Structure 1
Amino acid sequence: MIEVFKTNVQEEWQCKIIIETLLEHFPNSSINFDLEDCDKILRIHAPTISNAKIIDVLNFHGYSCEVLP
């Protein structure tokens, strides 16, 4: 399963913190950001994904996050 999210993450160091946190919740997943994209894309490829949990993690760290259709 792959989900794509629009975020407001700007810096690589922010990505690293978020990815580490998300990997605690989704250990068997592949997670990356595309900061070059205007939507600051977050992609998660995992066997199971909880969109609500992902959005909660980013919100907890002070970032906006929404699922892209």
Structure 2
Amino acid sequence: MVEIFRTNVVNKNKAKQIVDAVHSNFERYKVNFDLEDCDRILRVESNNGRLDVFKILQFLKCQGLEAEVLPD
């Protein structure tokens, strides 16, 4: 399962910090940013097919980010 989030991340250093933090807290998720996209998207993929969107959004908020799920 893959979810795409619109974020307010604007630089590569912050994106790397977030990726590292997500990997540390959600070991089964693969994460990457596309900062060149106008929505500065964060892709989160689950290795086991299940992804807890609510927990991801809460975690990102605690990291000081604004994020929302992009519709399909």
Matched, 1:64 2:62: no
Regions of 4+ moved over 4 Å: none
Count of residue correspondences: 69
Identity of aligned residues (%): 41
Counterpart Cα distance in 1 of 2:64 and 2:29: 23
Amino acid at match of 2:55: K
- Distance in 2, matches of 1:62 and 1:28, equals 22
Structure 1 CA distance for aligned equivalents of residues 51 and 17 of structure 2? 19
Aligned position for 1:30: 30
TM-score (norm 1): 0.89
2:13 corresponding residue in structure 1: 13
1:43 and 1:31 map into 2 onto residues whose CA distance is: 6
Uncovered stretches (5+) of structure 2, i.e. residues with no partner: none
Matched, 1:45 2:34: no
Summarize deviations over 1:10-67 as a string: whole Å, max 9, x none.
1111111111111123212221000000100000111221111111121112110000
TM-score (normalised: structure 2)? 0.86
> 1: CA distance between counterparts of 2:24 and 2:62?
15
RMSD of aligned alpha carbons: 1.1
